[in-house]
Amino acid sequence: MWVEFNSNPSGKRIGDCAVRAVGKAIGQDWTDAYIGLCAEGLAFKDMPSANYVWGMYLKKYGFEEHMIESICPQCVTVSQFAKDHTKGRYVLATQNHVVSVVDGDYYDSWDSGNEIVLYYYKKEI
């Protein structure tokens, strides 16, 4: 189920999906997640929103990377993933977006449920 969520203190909804998703999954507010991702990006000399940068940041918090099974990779939407994963914390990567799933609900500033999941990071609770 989609839960409308926007932790951006200014209410902005564009360009910071990695910050919002990572913060929600880790339990950080927007500012702490942003600072952490910026520091990670600086270490790699890349932007904090680069997929591998936020992925490395998540790994520091005990998340593990997983690929979508190749049986039907185009079949796994954000909403279907959430329905199938009712326990744990996840950060999903789609073609142009990042969204968090916590205990079967996906948290986002817009309903990204129809986006196709490419891969994800997982931390069981």
pLDDT tens, residue by residue, 38-55: 999 999 999 999 999 999
Query: What total of structural domains would you count in the chain?
Result: 1
Place of tokens 């914390």: 89
Q: Where are the beta strands (DSSP E) in 1-125?
A: 2-4, 64-67, 89-93, 98-102, 105-108, 119-123
**What is the value of pTM for the model shown?**
0.93
Beta strands of 2-118 (E only): which ranges? 2-4, 64-67, 89-93, 98-102, 105-108
- The residues near 115 (Cβ < 8 Å, ≥ 6 apart) are 77, 78, 94, 95, 97, 99
Q: Tens of pLDDT along 57-116? A: 999 999 999 998 777 767 899 999 999 999 999 999 999 999 999 999 999 999 999 999
Assess whether pLDDT exceeds 80 at residue 124.
no
What's the domain range around 52? 2-123
End-to-end Cα, the chain, rounded Å: 19
Task: With CA atoms as reference, report the closest residue to 121 among 95, 96, 102.
Answer: 102
How high is the pLDDT of residue 82?
Answer: 98
**Predicted local confidence at residue 81, as pLDDT:** 96
Percent of the chain with pLDDT over 90: 88
Q: What is the reported pLDDT for 73?
A: 62
